[in-house]
């Protein structure tokens, strides 16, 4: 089965932080792939331009060499085509620019063009930089008149470190760009399986009647990583897993799982329903935080068969209470989900890299098969985001052979790699093209971001007020034992982090 490629309109794509890690690993390969499949169409009549912008002094040729190397290292060899690479590199230009002064900004304006025809083109400004330089870049885009009606601003997380800073950043952005021009990107929402979660719920009649507290026992959302903090140690020590992962990625996945069916599939209708979920989250304060949350920090151990140092050994501090692992129990207080716990966990240096949503259904109300209670497992739906994207519905069937009714749990397995004869696009490919099209469905709205902080901030404050420490866990394990105690108290257990579910 193949997919239909719909070309997008010509555009100018300006990447601030163009020589950084995000640009190298994700943005350049994503744009190359979209050119390769024909979604980006480049010609003299309809040219596309990709302009790298950073403080580094670099010629256009040097930036093209940087991009060529990025393609060689981050694009599969079978997808590298000499003519496509040559065409892609011809789209590239580069300008040295200082976000905190006026140096280079007039030159950028002239490079983009100032004629009515130039201003009518779609312009994307992608801020692949640290959050501290978001405000000066936005201010100068406005002061130099680069925020035309067809301009679009893309900003990465973190969007603030708390509610107050998020509101300040949103105010700065809102002074220069309309909300319809702002694309707050969460790459998890661009993953194929995340969108298939919506297709599963709203394009199939079988799930909606049972997608509620009458039939679902609980939901688990796991984002486990084998990597540590790497070169981000100094940033991470000021953020922690709650700010870095829970406030955005995990809460967005919770919203898509728990939201009501929107009236139609458009940006505001979908985001309205997600916002309702965030508003319905039961607050976790000082009285509940020790029972409903677990903080962890990895110590030395081994991942992927290699010894790795402890968190404290890779940051510039002798001691730290920053969490590299969070597990928590959340509740959505509305008619659909009342009484259904949502267990969230995320951590670094865990046993396996896996992101998944597990919808655990309730057991059968009555067993007609006699003394085989232990053989009947409750159904569960496992939505795997990475690796090996796909969906598995676990069912009970009769074990083949004579000798009575013996049961076995088996999955109905839909692996995207096996089901579709196409390369599965990276999330950034889809999201960048959505920005070009002006489709905000998979992007966070201002009120979503701020409502998420309204729920997260009291948890962080409660940790400080109660002196809740980050308990240690071995690198290469499944997390702190206390995270298992938290869910075991409710008579439940975590889905194993083993990469096989």
Catalytically annotated residues: 249
Q: Ramachandran region of residue 339, left (φ > 0), alpha (ψ -120 to 50) or beta?
A: left
Structure tokens at 461: 């404050």
CA distance linking residue 109 with residue 153, whole number of Å: 16
How many whole angstroms separate alpha carbon 146 and alpha carbon 150?
10
Rounded Cα–Cα distance for residues 384 and 192 (Å): 10
State whether the Cα torsion 85-90-91-97 is positive or negative. Answer: positive
Question: Exposure of 96 by Cβ count < 10 A (0-12 exposed, 13-18 middle, 19+ buried)?
Answer: middle
Identify which of 136, 115, 137 has the alpha carbon closest to the alpha carbon of residue 126.
Answer: 137
Residue 369: partners with Cβ closer than 8 Å, 6 or more residues away: 376, 405, 407
What's the order of all strands across the beta sheet hosting 122-127?
A: 92-96, 49-54, 11-16, 122-127, 151-156, 182-185
Where do we find the tokens 């009549």? 45
Strand extents, DSSP E, 22-101:
49-54, 92-96
Q: What is d(CA 499, CA 386) in angstroms, rounded to the nearest whole number?
A: 9
- Token code pair at residue 391: 């969906």
Distances (CA, A) of 501 to 336, 392, 414: 27, 8, 12
What CA–CA distance (Å, rounded) separates 179 from 245? 24
> What tokens were used for 77?
């060899």
Q: List Cβ neighbours of 461 (8 Å cut-off, separation of 6 or more).
A: none
């Amino acid at each position: 089965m193949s997919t239909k490629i719909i070309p997008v309109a010509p555009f100018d794509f300006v990447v601030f932080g163009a020589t950084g890690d995000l640009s190298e690993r994700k943005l350049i390969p994503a744009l190359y792939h979209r050119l390769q499949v024909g979604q980006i169409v480049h010609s003299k009549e309809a040219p596309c331009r990709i302009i790298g912008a950073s403080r580094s002094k670099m010629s256009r040729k040097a930036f093209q060499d940087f991009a060529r190397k990025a393609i060689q290292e981050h694009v599969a060899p079978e997808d590298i085509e000499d003519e496509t690479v040559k065409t892609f590199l011809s789209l590239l230009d580069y300008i040295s620019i200082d976000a905190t002064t006026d140096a280079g900004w007039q030159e950028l304006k002239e490079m983009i063009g100032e004629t009515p025809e130039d201003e009518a083109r779609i312009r994307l400004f992608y801020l692949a930089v640290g959050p501290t330089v978001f405000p000066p870049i936005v201010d100068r885009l406005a002061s130099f008149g680069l925020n035309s009606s067809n301009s679009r601003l893309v900003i990465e997380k973190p969007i603030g470190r708390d509610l107050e800073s998020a509101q300040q950043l949103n105010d700065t952005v809102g002074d220069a760009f309309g909300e319809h021009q702002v694309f707050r990107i969460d790459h998890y929402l661009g993953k194929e399986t995340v969108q298939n979660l919506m297709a599963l719920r709203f394009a199939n009649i079988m799930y909606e009647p049972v997608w509620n507290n009458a039939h679902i026992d609980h939901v688990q959302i796991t984002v486990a990583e084998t990597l540590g903090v790497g070169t981000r140690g100094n940033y991470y020590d000021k953020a922690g897993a709650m700010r870095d992962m829970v406030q955005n990625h995990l809460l967005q996945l919770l919203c898509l799982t728990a939201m009501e069916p929107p009236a139609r599939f458009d940006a505001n209708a979908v985001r309205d329903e997600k916002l309702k979920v965030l508003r319905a989250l039961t607050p976790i304060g000082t009285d509940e935080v020790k029972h409903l949350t677990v903080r962890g920090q990895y110590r030395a151990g081994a991942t992927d068969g290699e010894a790795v140092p402890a968190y404290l050994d890779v940051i510039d501090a002798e001691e730290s209470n920053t969490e590299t692992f969070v597990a928590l129990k959340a509740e959505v207080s509305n008619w659909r989900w009342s009484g259904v716990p949502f267990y969230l966990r995320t951590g670094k240096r865990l046993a396996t890299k896996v992101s998944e949503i597990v919808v655990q259904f309730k057991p059968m109300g009555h067993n007609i098969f006699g003394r085989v209670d232990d053989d009947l497992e409750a159904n569960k739906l496992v939505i795997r985001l990475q690796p090996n994207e796909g969906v598995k519905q676990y069912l009970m069937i009769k074990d083949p052979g004579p000798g009575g009714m013996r049961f076995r749990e088996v999955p109905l397995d839909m692996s995207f790699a096996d089901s579709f004869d196409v390369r599965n696009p990276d999330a950034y490919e889809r999201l960048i093209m959505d920005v070009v099209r002006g489709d905000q469905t998979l992007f966070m709205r201002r009120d979503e971001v701020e409502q998420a902080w309204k729920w997260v901030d009291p948890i962080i404050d409660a940790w400080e007020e109660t002196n809740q420490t980050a308990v240690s866990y071995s690198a290469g394990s499944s997390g702190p034992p206390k995270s298992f105690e938290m869910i075991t108290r409710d008579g439940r257990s975590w889905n194993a982090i083993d990469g096989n579910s």
